[in-house]
Structure 1
């Protein structure tokens, strides 16, 4: 085999697009530096479990308000400019958290942070998919997702380590520095040309039976993310007595594992082209080990069960990215990515809110049992429908991909 062919096999990702996973890494790292220990900080400020769950839920629900309009806007104007606004909002949000003390102040900041979260979750992936060619799509999307996985692992570890020498507010100073770097990095992204569509075009795309099935599954699955946001760190800190550094190491192990799994899973899809297998097996594995998380007692046990849990998460998240690219026309991916993430965000909020109210009844461990059971039973119930409607043919009259991606 020629050396050029070997290089293409070993790294089938366009170098000119490498800033996309880098932005995903930096945004997620900064976000989780803040998020991982925010519940602990809120408890230290005297907030009740119900108010804590509401604050965490406000990050999700506030994102819903403008997520779809922002997605459609990114189809009609420069997506890079929208991302730049999101990076600036992240910076302001982190600066505000350093001074907030009351529950209402945290609620207002959650709205600001939720808007930034909405922009990055929606527009970064939509812009990436717009400039990406369909060839070897699975592994390319997986490499893009690797950035976020590594950020998810590195952010909490940095926060836990820095908190050992400072406090939460002091640690946020380092997160602010990361947000400033992100603003600069966004300026290097490749942009796409705005394209105007009637709103009715989006509606017709979403009437596909496969799109509806995709969104229903995504909604139910996303509820477990909300439970994790609200209960995971508190389970380790309050119930199991882990140190901040140990909490950080657990996040790092999961993030690195997901990053390693992503390209392997993506290449497996490119070979087999079976999104239903990815989705169904992933949902079952994820939900079973979500339940078993409640029974971990030591750090090695917690890391082991969470690695097995995320062995299910990686193919589900990859399948969702693949289906977003395959089900909807390229020029309208901003609006449709927003719909996908709005549904996910609604699920996360439901998990946040439910966990906040259920914790006094069943404890942090019980929330993991409940959320895993819900996803497992829903998967079994919906599997016949999934098999019937989730096919992978491209949308009609797809717009041409940009060359060289």
Structure 2
């Protein structure tokens, strides 16, 4: 990470403080990944109800992401980061105090605002700070907050739930986010020199269907479905197979793999292009879904986790970098907000849809269905990511440039 040593001291401090805040945010959020479904099951929820409650998280993301992206462009990234972190600090108290499933759904939707705000503000601010010729490298390094947090969070959350109980679990999640608020206070928000047009709020649909945004949004929709299926049901699926594996270790293995990929994928994409690495991530997701579908041992689940981590560690940073390439500085928040809507929709519908499928054909059959979706994502990206099939294929496999990237 020698890039940080080449920056001016103030910029380096800004990035490192932002990194610490991101680490605390994702640790707080991820501590509930393997534990909250088990908590919801313990209060009497069915498979489909668990899916609906967990999927409610993305309702907040879906509703507020576009507006938060516009707010990040107009008022600066820092205020949006603070909104996300404060929501993440408040939500765990709701889980602690409420036992009614409908009310937990409302709290879960409120919790979704946290990632809509923090995710959009974080990536927009990093893109503002990163030199253009090292954009992929810096975004890749800064995105390490996700896998590190997702490695620490589930292990810590699973331990607290098993050894101390749910009260300690939810208090810990809130405390981590509260510390994150303190880390954000000294972060310097650079000014946005060029302001967005006055009618930016009216451009959501037009932006979504534009060639530079639509296919990435569709790919993110499928990624959201796959991740939603894994995050919502993997703990229950492992339990149903009788395999003796703590689901927290699945997330930890995936996070370590994701961390490893981000160390070099971003820098390599500056040289070989974003498309090759997006394609790799979709192939990794597909292989992982196949292994989860067929898993019947600890080893198979852990290998699937490593491959899934490689996919997630490449997909989100590379698509985020690709969207940065395609956006002007004053519209980055809006472009991130609109393109990530596909991801949000995938997470919203993954819980209830796959919960209903699991109710009919079981968790194993459900993951078989998910495999087909990730195969479809490869086909879509390889044929529709550019102006025509030939250019799309070349871009998707690192043989041609991104025709929608803005040259400045």
| TM, length-normalised to structure 1 | 0.89
Pair 1:374–1:172, CA change in 2 (3 A): same
2:102 to 101, 104, 120: 104
> 2:250 & 2:5 partners in 1: Cα distance?
29
1:209 to 192, 208, 211: 211
Report the alpha carbon displacement of residue 196 of structure 1 after superposing the two structures with TM: 4.0
Deviates further, 188-197 or 131-140: 188-197
Does structure 2 conserve the Cα–Cα contact (< 8 Å) formed by 1:123 and 1:337? no
> 2:84 & 2:338 partners in 1: Cα distance?
18
- 5 Å-filtered alignment, 1:60-99, equals 60-99=58-97
Pair 1:294–1:87, CA change in 2 (3 A): same
- 5 Å-filtered alignment, 1:242-281, equals 242=244, 246-272=246-272, 274-281=273-280
Pair 1:360–1:385, CA change in 2 (3 A): same
Pair 1:105–1:242, CA change in 2 (3 A): farther
Output one character per residue of 1:271-315: Cα deviation in whole Å (capped at 9) or x when no partner.
Answer: 32x222112222122112212112223323211122123323322
> 1:396 & 1:235 partners in 2: Cα distance?
44
Pair 1:313–1:11, CA change in 2 (3 A): farther
Report the alpha carbon displacement of residue 8 of structure 1 after superposing the two structures with TM: 3.8
Matched, 1:386 2:396: no
- 5 Å-filtered alignment, 1:385-404, equals 385-386=384-385, 388=391, 391-392=401-402
Report the alpha carbon displacement of residue 381 of structure 1 after superposing the two structures with TM: 4.7
Deviates further, 365-374 or 36-45: 365-374
Report the alpha carbon displacement of residue 102 of structure 1 after superposing the two structures with TM: 1.0
Does structure 1 conserve the Cα–Cα contact (< 8 Å) formed by 2:47 and 2:358? yes
Does structure 2 conserve the Cα–Cα contact (< 8 Å) formed by 1:78 and 1:191? yes
Report the alpha carbon displacement of residue 147 of structure 1 after superposing the two structures with TM: 0.9
Aligned residue for 1:377? 376
2:190 to 189, 192, 213: 192
SS of 1:198's equivalent in the other structure is: coil
> 1:382 & 1:62 partners in 2: Cα distance?
27
Matched, 1:52 2:62: no
> 1:206 & 1:131 partners in 2: Cα distance?
25
1:15 to 12, 29, 44: 12
Pair 1:78–1:167, CA change in 2 (3 A): same
SS of 1:136's equivalent in the other structure is: helix
- 5 Å-filtered alignment, 1:110-149, equals 110-149=108-147
Deviates further, 90-99 or 388-397: 388-397
Aligned residue for 1:4? none
**Structure 1: which 5+ residue stretches go unaligned?**
1-6, 399-405
1:24 to 22, 25, 34: 22
**Structure 2: which 5+ residue stretches go unaligned?**
396-400
Deviates further, 9-18 or 115-124: 9-18
Output one character per residue of 1:1-23: Cα deviation in whole Å (capped at 9) or x when no partner.
Answer: xxxxxx84696676231223322
Report the alpha carbon displacement of residue 386 of structure 1 after superposing the two structures with TM: 2.4
| TM, length-normalised to structure 2 | 0.88
- 5 Å-filtered alignment, 1:224-303, equals 224-242=226-244, 246-272=246-272, 274-303=273-302
Report the alpha carbon displacement of residue 259 of structure 1 after superposing the two structures with TM: 0.7
Matched, 1:167 2:165: yes
Pair 1:229–1:8, CA change in 2 (3 A): closer
RMSD: 2.3
Aligned residue for 1:401? none
Aligned residue for 1:222? 224
Pair 1:252–1:11, CA change in 2 (3 A): farther
Does structure 2 conserve the Cα–Cα contact (< 8 Å) formed by 1:231 and 1:367? no
Report the alpha carbon displacement of residue 240 of structure 1 after superposing the two structures with TM: 3.0
Deviates further, 312-321 or 325-334: 312-321
> 2:85 & 2:144 partners in 1: Cα distance?
20
> 2:243 & 2:407 partners in 1: Cα distance?
56
Does structure 1 conserve the Cα–Cα contact (< 8 Å) formed by 2:258 and 2:314? no
Pair 1:12–1:318, CA change in 2 (3 A): farther
Does structure 1 conserve the Cα–Cα contact (< 8 Å) formed by 2:18 and 2:183? no
